[in-house]
Structure 1
Amino acid sequence: MSETTSIALTKYGLLGLYLGVVYWLSWVGMRKTTTLAGFSVGNKDMSPGLVGVVMASSIASTATFVINPGFVYTHGLSALLHYGVAAQAGVAFGLVVVCKGFLRVGEKHACLTIPDWIRARFGSPALALFFALINLLSVTFVVLIMVGCAILVQQLCGLSYVWSLVAVLVVVFSYVLMGGTYAHAYTNAVQGVLMAAVALMLFSSGASHFEGGLLPALRSVSESYAGAINPQSSLYYSVFSVFISAFVVTFALMMQPHILTKVLYLRSDRDVNRFLATSIGMGAIYTLCLFVGLWARLDGLEVPVEAQDTVVAKYVAQAFGGGLPGQVVTTVVLVALLAAGMSTLDGILVALSAMVTHDLYLRLRPQDAAGGLRLSRYVLVGVGLLAFALAVDPPKLVGLFAQKGVYGLAAASFVPIVCGVMVRGTVPAKLMGAAAATGLILHLGLHLVGGIDNPAVSACWAILGSVMLTVVALLVRPPVPAASEP
């Protein structure tokens, strides 16, 4: 048998093994999914450690493993600090601040989705409907993940970009259709462990760059490339753009439906601390993958700015390719990177499907529970086709395209959820609606019209504006104490 044949058999064998495990776990999940509640948040029978891994892998996604290292490659240390330090601090702080309060309200009212939680906390079906609609902005992140996964499938299988997109669409949507939350959780547990192993492997692959000191090595590219602030960058040029915006926006991103609803998988407050420790610890390991951007630049890999999303795939091929052992390692790494995308994509799909069904359809036809479960699966197909249409000809920097949408969602969600968790008493739903609209409109206006290139910066200013509006309003008219807190 020739080496070429051996490499091909090994590559497709490993890929087939991965897909076989994913579909088997999805089948197990399907057997446990008999209601819309089970499809959306499970049956409260998952351990907090498992949910923590699911949460961490959902947060990390293709952005951390495939797209963001491209920004680090282009902009240097400032981008690494933006995504790897400030953003991770925002993740940890956001989860610690909101998890217990969010679970308390969710448990009391048996909430399945973010809009459902908003309705229960503020008593406003109109505000819940608004949140159900703006959460459709998550589709932009679905596009990012599909593009990133398609790039990896191209590298793995040699398919064209369009056929790679089709392959990603068929695989992810089929196994989520089978098992909903259980398919998402079980597959994410396996994928999460694989992602952690590969993040450590990729980080260690550049260990030689520490021998003479990492900062001197970065200065060999340029002084600005090695700076915590990069004055040559249009994205990471100040303390605000590197640190403050990343912290604030990532804190707000914890309010996304595919992230915060993981808290509703838990049984009680007793599970929260273990869940948080697992999630934050695994997230710190995943962040090591960002160093690949630096390793690629220091190793002399030449990638034009408009193609920076391909940096990780090209680095893996250069660092591990060649011969059967190298191809085995390359395949394992690429499969793990593919798993990173799948692990977030399936969570977003479950969340979007549950919202459209529970917060739109069943509000009009509450008696049709069985039809709601069927519809939740049809919605998945519709989301998939829409995302595919957008991903066929994606923007040059798909990371910035996704940030326009999800950061807008974060800016809108921040005040209502944080107020709902931390402010005691009855908070006017109209004020929460005004705060949400202010966050969304300010973000889009500053980014699209106001000349702010970095979506994190525009979203941060939008969040601060939304917070200021709310603080002033609550000082003028304090919350009314409730006889029974939600």
Structure 2
Amino acid sequence: MGNIASSEQIFATWVLIVIYAAVVLYLVIRGAKKTQNLDDYALGTIGFSPVAVGLALAASVTSAATFIINPGFIALYGISGVISFGIVMPLAIYISLIIMTKGFRKYGETTKALTMAQWIGKMYDSKAFAIYFGFLSLLLITFIVLICVGVTQVLSKALNADPVWVLTVVVAFVFGYMMFGGANSMIYTNAIQATIMLVVAFILLFSGVEYFENGIDGFLEQLAAVDESLVKTTNPSSFLFRDYFEIIYCQFVIGIAIVCQPHIITKSLLLKSKNDINKYLLVGIIALSVFFSVVFVGLYIRLYFPDLTINGTKMPMDSLVSYYVVSKFSVYTGLLVILGLISAGLSTLEGLIQTLSTTITSDLMDPIVGKRLGFDSPFKKIFFNKMVIILLGVVSFLLSYQQLLSPNLSVGIFAQNGVYAYFSAAFIPVLFGTFFRNVSFKSVFAASVTAIVVHFSVYYGHITAYMQETINNPAIASTIAILSSLLVGVIMHFIEEFRKVKTEDVY
């Protein structure tokens, strides 16, 4: 496809990477000094401000998917994608955050839960349920892969470097420093990253201002001249935005449930007190509103590359943002944008590594082999947590390498399938645990298993007319899974309540 970065861009990018790495390592070393055990690694020892945690929340929710991958979908499919990814899903996420955060934090604080699996296990008084969710958490590796691929695409284009070597360095560096700092360093790096992301979001959003010389109508006319389907609110030729069921209904359900990811909902446990929740949510939602609007840049990309080719070669969807940044901006503006894109990826990657490694160590290894490995010692537990991070790094590298070489259109589909399955299974246990009392373990366990079975059955079994393409929409499978899970959970709950009433009547 050819190299597009100039020698000046390459040199400036290397300087940026060195400075960025130095700042991150300084914060990690500072945080590591205060990390004495796994509790410190998971929740930190510092009293974090609601502004810092709110910015960390926003950075964790959006990530490389919003800044690097999703604009590619919009470049391909147009306004229908903006409605889905830029309006409906964010609105549902805000509603879910506002409704669920207070209840989750209240119970999480009283149980001293470090992870989502622990929260669920303690809520339903079942160690087996915590172990079950520990295993389910492994599905989140797919999201780690998305971020690794996204960051690799950006850096490899900016450096004119082999993506495999870039991927190797990214994985080694990020997984390496996450072995030490944990929450004590992550909240500060996330807050700094989110601030950079805010600046970069505005740069990206204003990068297409010339397309609005004749107003919104003129902008839409330019898009229609490229492809009329780009300006329509549905896009039957796509596999994600074919009708309003996919664009609105499914995305709203997904947005409500997406909050039930451990690196998102557990952020509230880092607040000093319940009085900080409103400020935390306000800061987080304002920042999120800016971040989610970045998907609109996909429309600029389509106008900048009407046929989505460069030097006569078709660009992969996951590389569209990278090519746009390197081609469109001056060296130093481009450098700042690249910094923002890296920040978007690493902010979430840090949270995923932290929560997933803590879950594997505390919720899988500890109850199964903890005594044999000497987990009574905080230092041994931290040591094995570091070994888990190394193993996660190796697995993530291998899966990312495969997605770089042969993605199914986009690494986004691979990630959605895994992540959507996870939060489909988590949604009912978190929802019922947050808002209802005396919910039986049987009800939520049946609901959770139903969600997993239905999600993968619909997706891989090609169930429903929507799932008959070579590339299918994981949101369809997840929506059906969540609704099936809700139905099973409610029915089981009422059956259990009916049995209790009958038993009380007998006695």
* TM-score bracket for this pair, using the shorter chain length: over 0.9
Q: Deviation per CA, 1:140-195, whole angstroms, max 9, x where unpaired?
A: 11111111111112022222111010111122112211201122211111111111
Counterpart residue number, 2:16 = 14
Counterpart residue number, 2:361 = 357
**Structure 1 residue 306, shift from structure 2 partner:** 7.5
Identity %: 33
Counterpart residue number, 2:461 = 449
For 1:89 and 1:432, locate their aligned partners in 2 and report how far apart those are by CA, in whole Å: 26
**Structure 1 residue 44, shift from structure 2 partner:** 5.4
Quick one: which of 475, 486, 493 aligns to 1:474?
493
Whether the 8 Å CA contact 1:29–1:186 is kept in 2: the answer is no
CA RMSD of aligned residues (A): 1.9
For 2:416 and 2:31, locate their aligned partners in 1 and report how far apart those are by CA, in whole Å: 31
Whether the 8 Å CA contact 2:224–2:230 is kept in 1: the answer is yes
What is the SS of the residue equivalent to 1:228? Answer: coil
Counterpart residue number, 1:220 = 225
Whether the 8 Å CA contact 1:103–1:268 is kept in 2: the answer is no
For 2:169 and 2:211, locate their aligned partners in 1 and report how far apart those are by CA, in whole Å: 37
Counterpart residue number, 1:484 = none
Quick one: which of 284, 291, 298 aligns to 2:289?
284
**Structure 1 residue 8, shift from structure 2 partner:** 4.7
Quick one: which of 460, 467, 473 aligns to 2:479?
460
**Structure 1 residue 455, shift from structure 2 partner:** 0.5
Map 1:102-181 onto structure 2 (within 5 A): 102-181=104-183
Could you say if the C-alpha distance between residues 249 and 111 of structure 1 is closer, same or farther in structure 2, counting changes exceeding 3 Å? same
Counterpart residue number, 2:444 = 432
Could you say if the C-alpha distance between residues 401 and 340 of structure 1 is closer, same or farther in structure 2, counting changes exceeding 3 Å? same
Whether the 8 Å CA contact 2:72–2:318 is kept in 1: the answer is yes
Counterpart residue number, 2:350 = 346
Map 1:49-68 onto structure 2 (within 5 A): 49-68=51-70
**Structure 1 residue 243, shift from structure 2 partner:** 1.1
Counterpart residue number, 1:331 = 335
Whether the 8 Å CA contact 1:78–1:228 is kept in 2: the answer is yes
**Which structure 2 segments of 5+ residues have no match?**
1-5, 502-507
Quick one: which of 303, 308, 332 aligns to 1:303?
308
**Structure 1 residue 114, shift from structure 2 partner:** 0.6
**Structure 1 residue 302, shift from structure 2 partner:** 3.5
Counterpart residue number, 1:25 = 27
Q: Deviation per CA, 1:45-96, whole angstroms, max 9, x where unpaired?
A: 1011100000100111110010111100111111111111111012101111
For 1:119 and 1:194, locate their aligned partners in 2 and report how far apart those are by CA, in whole Å: 37
Counterpart residue number, 2:248 = 243
For 1:306 and 1:39, locate their aligned partners in 2 and report how far apart those are by CA, in whole Å: 41
Q: Which amino acid aligns with 2:320?
A: V
For 1:477 and 1:434, locate their aligned partners in 2 and report how far apart those are by CA, in whole Å: 12
Moved more, 140-149 or 450-459: 450-459
Whether the 8 Å CA contact 2:357–2:389 is kept in 1: the answer is yes
Question: Given the two structures, how large is their TM-score scaled by the length of structure 2?
Answer: 0.90
Q: Which amino acid aligns with 1:257?
A: P
Q: Which amino acid aligns with 1:287?
A: F
Whether the 8 Å CA contact 1:362–1:368 is kept in 2: the answer is no
**Which structure 1 segments of 5+ residues have no match?**
321-325, 482-486
Whether the 8 Å CA contact 1:195–1:336 is kept in 2: the answer is yes
User: Are 1:259 and 2:268 an aligned pair?
Assistant: no
For 1:6 and 1:319, locate their aligned partners in 2 and report how far apart those are by CA, in whole Å: 15
**Structure 1 residue 250, shift from structure 2 partner:** 2.1
Whether the 8 Å CA contact 2:72–2:321 is kept in 1: the answer is yes
Whether the 8 Å CA contact 2:96–2:256 is kept in 1: the answer is yes
For 2:421 and 2:8, locate their aligned partners in 1 and report how far apart those are by CA, in whole Å: 48
Q: Which amino acid aligns with 2:378?
A: A
Whether the 8 Å CA contact 1:11–1:328 is kept in 2: the answer is no
For 1:6 and 1:152, locate their aligned partners in 2 and report how far apart those are by CA, in whole Å: 16
Could you say if the C-alpha distance between residues 229 and 49 of structure 1 is closer, same or farther in structure 2, counting changes exceeding 3 Å? same
**Structure 1 residue 6, shift from structure 2 partner:** 5.4
For 1:215 and 1:439, locate their aligned partners in 2 and report how far apart those are by CA, in whole Å: 40
Q: Which amino acid aligns with 1:356?
A: I
**Structure 1 residue 266, shift from structure 2 partner:** 1.2
Q: Which amino acid aligns with 1:149?
A: V
For 2:365 and 2:49, locate their aligned partners in 1 and report how far apart those are by CA, in whole Å: 31
Whether the 8 Å CA contact 1:353–1:379 is kept in 2: the answer is yes
What is the SS of the residue equivalent to 1:478? Answer: helix
Could you say if the C-alpha distance between residues 409 and 415 of structure 1 is closer, same or farther in structure 2, counting changes exceeding 3 Å? same
What is the SS of the residue equivalent to 2:238? Answer: coil
Whether the 8 Å CA contact 1:176–1:183 is kept in 2: the answer is no
Counterpart residue number, 1:384 = 393
Q: Which amino acid aligns with 2:344?
A: A
Counterpart residue number, 2:423 = 410
Quick one: which of 353, 374, 379 aligns to 1:370?
379
**Structure 1 residue 252, shift from structure 2 partner:** 1.0
Aligned residues: 473
Question: Given the two structures, how large is their TM-score scaled by the length of structure 1?
Answer: 0.94
**Structure 1 residue 5, shift from structure 2 partner:** 6.5
Q: Which amino acid aligns with 1:219?
A: A
For 1:441 and 1:6, locate their aligned partners in 2 and report how far apart those are by CA, in whole Å: 52
For 1:210 and 1:203, locate their aligned partners in 2 and report how far apart those are by CA, in whole Å: 12
